[in-house]
Amino acid sequence: MEFEVTPWEVKGEVDYEKLIRRFGTKKITEDLRQKIKKHTKELDTMLRRDYFFSHRDLDLVLNDWEKGEGFFLYTGRGPSGPMHIGHLVPLIFTKWLQEKFGVNLYIEITDDEKYWVKDCEWKDVQKYSDENIKDIAAVGFDPEKTFIFKDSEYIRNVYPILVRAAKKITNSTAKAVFGFSGDTNIGLNFYPAYQTVPTFFEKKRCLIPCAIDQDPYWRVQRDIAEKIGYKKTAAIHSKFLPPLTGIDGKMSASDADTAIWLEDDEKAVKKKINKYAFSGGKTTIEEHRRLGGDPNVDVSFQWLKILFENDDNKLKKIETEYLSGKLLSGELKQILIEKINLFLTEHRKRREKIDVEKFTKTGALAKKMWGSFFI
């Protein structure tokens, strides 16, 4: 079956090389990785292992950086419910970029868009927004250089620039890029304009870390940016975190079983991984010992590779032993269960202690932003 990737659906086994050609983005080459490393000294796991694999204008971001012009980061979250591990992946990578370059980061909480897109109440979206902001802040961004804002609250500071952006985007473009139709409400139809706004928070170049299915959205920004006096945004694209149940598609919030939620306790994680994590192992132990497992389709191995085992030697050992049949599927799952539970425990510890207001109001960047108006 041919795979399909749109901003609202990922189906089939994705051929990422083909996707780069189809979307017209560029591959992150070894040269580019080395250019990054020149400034960061080391490469994040997700870059090293080609999980972040594609980009637009990342070379220009690095050129700007080398010329001392700097850049800034922008990402976002639609507060439609609790968050799962898949939601954290681009944030964790973003945190690494912020740490290494010491740049400003803007995180848009799209409460308006989620209200428009879902059958839900405004107060629920607000509740999830506040919960999500805590989870996001707990990733460990620099509280003095990170501004997390809700669309509905920050609107007061950005409406004129939002209005300017909206003037440059036609209904036809919104329909083509976002798949809108006559039944779409005019709020959601308007949302693509707000999505471009944070790319205009600084005159520097903006860099957006995101999964590659989000790329079409940013093409809208790249179409209009120069017309209103700003730079086209750059982007760095990841592959998809596979859902528990199989290597195809991407982890989604719409089926609770295929995701690990940040709220999942140790027992829940253990149960889910053991029950649902698609295995590349053989059906009997004997067969597995004899023929070995297939790490390429094994979700547990892939999760270790993408997020949970940063040590290349350890990962290599796991891979080799799994391939040879020495490591059983259940043992591989156990490694992942321990890693995830450690990760979630630490995340929740940080979450409890986090001073959210630093990110939304009182930190240096947040304070500056509340005093700024964008026209």
Residues lying near a second copy in the complex (CB under 8 A): 112, 115-116, 122, 152, 155-156, 159-160, 163-164, 166-175, 180-187, 189-190, 192-193, 375
Question: Strand, helix or coil at 205?
Answer: strand
Round to whole Å and give the CA distance between 55 and 40.
18
> Is 251:85 a contact under the CB 8 Å cutoff?
yes
Q: How far is the CB of 165 from a second copy (least distance, A)?
A: 8
Q: How far is the CB of 120 from a second copy (least distance, A)?
A: 10
Round to whole Å and give the CA distance between 348 and 319.
30
Q: How far is the CB of 168 from a second copy (least distance, A)?
A: 7
Would you say 29 or 171 has its CB closer to a second copy? Answer: 171
Round to whole Å and give the CA distance between 119 and 111.
13
Would you say 77 or 164 has its CB closer to a second copy? Answer: 164
Q: At what angle do helices 186-196 and 171-178 cross, to 10 degrees?
A: 90
Would you say 181 or 283 has its CB closer to a second copy? Answer: 181
Would you say 29 or 185 has its CB closer to a second copy? Answer: 185
Q: How far is the CB of 81 from a second copy (least distance, A)?
A: 18
Would you say 173 or 252 has its CB closer to a second copy? Answer: 173
Q: How far is the CB of 173 from a second copy (least distance, A)?
A: 8
Q: How far is the CB of 348 from a second copy (least distance, A)?
A: 31
Q: How far is the CB of 183 from a second copy (least distance, A)?
A: 6
Would you say 93 or 154 has its CB closer to a second copy? Answer: 154
Nearest Cα to 177, choosing from 215, 231, 230? 215
Round to whole Å and give the CA distance between 123 and 143.
27
Question: Strand, helix or coil at 48?
Answer: helix
Q: Which residues, at least 6 apart from 141, have a Cβ–Cβ distance to it below 8 Å?
A: 94, 95, 98, 105, 107, 359
Round to whole Å and give the CA distance between 97 and 40.
8
The H-or-E segment that residue 109 falls in is: strand 105-109
Would you say 6 or 171 has its CB closer to a second copy? Answer: 171
